[in-house]
Structure 1
């Protein structure tokens, strides 16, 4: 999520907040985070609130990836560097990828389709993705679902990953979820209306 898009993307502030929540949980659970920037020379850098989580990921198993943010010009984020980083964790059929970010109908859609074609399991976080036009977002999410991707929410994904309240990290995860409860409600109302 690049700063230049802040005023162009519908509900940018909600996507940013849910992304921050997911990055905090990923850090707590030692889950690697990979990010790309679309043509950063022209479109700018990742927003500060998220970039701080990408600067250092101590404790994660993604020691093969440096830097954490990769520049790209193609719309899919499945660049050779990202593919290598993902495959360092095993064969594509065993790897689950959660996607969040902006331009759902372009970058998120093309990344999802690229990953699905290569056998990765894809989870798109509905309250952490958006586009300039909300109608295009909805159609893109449906296309991803039609192709075999899972559409989920940030909280559902968090508890799916955590799996058991007895996990020693559960208390910290619960605290993060609670910290973002109001923001989550706002994001769901804006991005996932009933």
Structure 2
């Protein structure tokens, strides 16, 4: 069972390195998630002070109203702790089965704070963690690189948006494959730009 978790607030647009690429790759993943009926869980860090989720991404959460996940947890969950794994989010995840059966795709900001602490929390509880390298960032790129290495060292998987999409899809014979291929093609140029900025060779 796959679940997407993310945090990306508008207030950070001018502070986070390559914010626009993170936003675009998140949008691509959410289109695919909607096609494949994958739940999306979102958090906001102290939204009264730090603002709301980016509008371009929040709309994909609205489309999931009434799903199992949104009946367990709010569409967007406010928090003060840095890890996204709040009691409410944990309940939403476990509504889909035991932790060992849940694959969590993580994206958003900041890599070295919320994404890192969420990864470690999830791994400690037995969830399988996949951090999307072209959909996470920090204010300082050096912090991002070190955080991704820490997550890998603790057993998390570092992947890319396109690799993750095809891993989830698994088979070109899937009846939803044509729509997924179309989304991947739509974002091909944006994906190249994001990889060059966030995952340089």
Which TM class, normalised by the smaller chain length?
Answer: over 0.9
Q: Is residue 156 from structure 1 mapped to residue 163 from structure 2 by the alignment? A: yes
Change (3 A) 1:117 1:28: same
**Equivalent position to 1:171, from 165, 168, 178:** 178
In 1, the alpha carbon distance for the partners of 2:66 and 2:106 equals: 21
Task: Extract structure 1 runs of 4+ deviating beyond 6 A.
Answer: none
| 1:5 Cα offset (Å) | 0.1
Q: Indicate conservation of the 8 Å contact 1:30/1:61, yes or no.
A: no
* Alignment partners' CA distance in 2, 1:77 and 1:57: 19
CA distance in 2, matches of 1:52, 1:65: 19
CA distance in 1, matches of 2:86, 2:59: 22
Instruction: State the 1:67 CA deviation.
Output: 2.1
Shift of 1:59: 8.1
Number of equivalences? 194
Long gaps (5+) in structure 2: 1-7
Deviates more, 1:57-66 or 1:79-88: 57-66
Unaligned runs of 5+ in 1: none
Structure 2: distance between partners of 1:96 and 1:10: 27
Once superposed, what is the RMSD of the aligned Cα atoms? Answer: 1.1
In 2, are the aligned partners of 1:116 and 1:148 still within 8 Å (CA)? yes
Please identify, of 63-72 and 83-92, the stretch whose mean Cα deviation from structure 2 is larger.
63-72
**TM-score, structure 2 length as denominator?**
0.94
